[in-house]
Amino acid sequence: MKRIGLDIGTKHIVLAYLDDQNNRKVRYEVNGYLSFPRGDNFMEQLLLTQKIPFVTREDGKGNKEFIAIGKMAEQLAYSLNRTLCRPMAEGGISKYDEDAQEVIAIIIRSIIGKLTEDTIIYYCTTAKPINNQSLNVDFHRKVVKLIIEGYKGEAEVKAFHINEARCLVLKETVPAIGISWGAGTVTVHAGIFGVPIFEFSVVGAGDWVDIEAAKRFGYDPTHPNGEYAETPTTICRRKESMDLKVTPEDRVGQAIYLMYEILIENVVRGIAEGFKENKGKFRFDKPVNIVNAGGSSMPDGFIEMLARELKKIDLDIPLGEVKKIDNPLFAVAYGCLTAAELHKEEGSQ
């Protein structure tokens, strides 16, 4: 039985697996797309030559257009100063995008590839948010399960879900809080030995930083294809090279820095509230580690900013190490793979 871990994030979809030498490996793709008119008759051949994944569709008026998918679509959006479309928003499948489910299905099935033996796949979802009750996490979870188990091939595929932040602390031997800093949500799981104490998410994460920072420079999210000095796509690119240990001197950098401060403050308040609401359900006599991963945690200085904010608030628990997992972009997928490896089928010994 093959085991696979799948992190279906708002920004990236990451697959973790074991190669023939039993080494852990990943494949990943950007969870986004860009649509544009068909244009010249040779446009399709150009896309094929450049190995840009795409599908074609009609726009309702009989006009054909291309939908470029993944990393190359992101590069096109950046080069054309356009906003990359996301089939997921705020941690779940977008309810405003009629192409969302099809695009996610294409990316998921292409990244899984050809399976020749029966497979167990653990995929992650966020937790129910504390600041946005309109996000239907259960619906998103069922849509993803439908996509994965609808895999057509030689093998039978069984899909199971797990909280993405729980993936980060499955092997922790002391009390720990796992925080997955994604693009759509920040997901939090508090537990010990993998057993949950409480879980929640905060809607408004990496994408929120990008959008709010871009709005400082005239970007209007209701008209994403307008011409702007800064877009969420350009902000996201700048964010990748940020150093949060120092306050930037330029306005764009300052906007990103301040949005990060607000984001971290919101999450830390949520953690404090979670412990307060669940008081009496746990007893910690050892320091609680804070384990972080996810694309939005990647800038230099992120952990220092988080640790600084944690010290400002009384969590009423002994605080241990605040750390970031190696390869934070892939850590959740590796955690999903761990969950798949721990899974025991009924009737097996």
**What is the domain-level CATH number for residue 225?**
3.30.420.40
* 349/314: higher pLDDT: 314
Q: What pLDDT does residue 98 have?
A: 82
> Lowest-pLDDT range, 36-50, 168-182, 190-204?
36-50
More confident residue, 151 or 188: 188
pLDDT at 349 over 50: no
18 assigned to some structural domain: yes
- Out of 69, 96, 119, a domain closes at 69
Asked whether residue 336 carries a pLDDT value surpassing 60, the answer given is: yes
Is 348 within the bounds of a domain? Answer: no
Same domain as 164, residue 53: no
Strands 119-125 and 157-163 turn out to be: parallel
How far apart (Å, rounded) are the C-alpha atoms in residues 305 and 18? 35
CB environment 125-161: b (16+ within 10 A), e (fewer): bbbebbeeeebebeebbebbbebbeebeeeeebbbeb
In a domain, 314, yes or no: yes
Q: Are residues 118 and 247 in the same domain?
A: yes
58 shares its domain with 186 = no
63 — pLDDT class (breaks 50, 70, 90)? confident
Does residue 234 lie within any of the structural domains? Answer: yes
What is the percentage of the chain residues whose pLDDT exceeds 90?
A: 55
How many domains are contained in the chain?
2
Q: What is the pLDDT of residue 274?
A: 84
Helices and strands, counts by H and E, the chain: 9, 15
Work out the pLDDT band at 62, boundaries 50, 70, 90.
Answer: confident
Does one domain contain both 49 and 153? no
Residue that is last in its domain, among 15, 42, 69: 69
Q: Is residue 231 part of a domain?
A: yes
Pair (78, 154) in one structural domain = yes
Please check whether residues 245 and 133 belong to one and the same domain. yes
Q: What is the mean pLDDT of residues 55-61?
A: 74
Q: Is the pTM of this model over 0.95?
A: no
- Domain containing residue 136: 2-32+70-342
Would 21 be classed as within a structural domain? yes
pLDDT at residue 39 tops 70: no
How confident is the model over 227-245, as a mean pLDDT?
91
Query: Is the same domain home to 52 and 154?
Result: no
Q: Are residues 318 and 184 in the same domain?
A: yes
Tell which wins on pLDDT, 341 or 39.
341
Domain boundary among 69, 85, 116: 69
Question: Tokens standing for 129?
Answer: 């948010």
Q: Which residue has the higher pLDDT, 349 or 188?
A: 188
3-state SS of 291-317? EEECHHHCCECHHHHHHHHHCCCCCCC
Within-domain flag for 347: no
What are 307-332's pLDDT values in tens digits?
Answer: 999 999 888 788 999 999 999 999 99
Q: How far apart are CA 194 and CA 169, in angstroms?
A: 6
